[in-house]
Amino acid sequence: MGWPGLVPALRSYIGNSSHPECLVFGGGVAADLVRDWHKAYTFSQSASHWLAIGAMDLVAHAMVEAIPGAIVWSSPLAPNSEGLHIVVPSFFCKADAVQDPNNCLPESWEATSDSIAIRMATVWRIPSLILCKSCGVQGDSLLSPVGPAGFVDPLFFKLANRQGAPEDIRAVNLLNN
């Protein structure tokens, strides 16, 4: 949210889609604050995981206000209406942990917004997942396990290889749009 070009870049990339679009935002500086607290106060992995998801919820609500026409999506189920839906991920993550405890995300820093997005796409049977990044890296190296560290979390690749995961997974550098 610290990049002034975020909303115009997203709008330009998404265009005028007539089908449901879901955006899942990372926690940004709010999640970074949780990381700092985790280290300073020795929070448990589980507590930090849920606090970081709360940071993502905060960003989702802020982005609904920042993106004209966006709809807040606070449900564990996939949107079924047209429009640009900003997902509040805690609803999905909590329901997933209860409904599928053997396959849900680990309650640790291993599961970042990338892993949450691919888990959501898998459960919701969404065939295409596009990770929008704002970084100086281009093309396929964003999604390469041997590419630059930190652009996609390691758990993402395990989830991408599971049965039912989206077949079309791409990464887009919004700085180049």
Q: 3-state class of 42 per DSSP?
A: coil
Residue 51 is assigned to a structural domain of this protein:
yes
In a domain, 157, yes or no: yes
Structural domains counted in the chain: 1
Range of the domain at 107: 6-74+83-176
Separation CA 33–CA 103 (nearest Å): 28
For residue 61, tell me if it sits in a domain: yes
Question: CB within 8 A of 40, min separation 6: which ones?
Answer: none
Query: Residue-wise pLDDT tens for the chain (177 aa)?
Result: 778 888 888 888 877 555 668 999 999 899 999 999 999 999 999 999 999 999 999 999 999 999 888 999 999 999 988 888 999 999 999 999 999 999 999 999 999 999 999 999 999 999 999 888 776 555 555 565 544 455 778 899 899 999 999 998 888 777 775
Please indicate, yes or no, if residue 22 is contained in any of the structural domains.
Answer: yes
In a domain, 1, yes or no: no
**One-letter identity of residue 134:** S
Question: Is the residue at 129 inside a domain?
Answer: yes
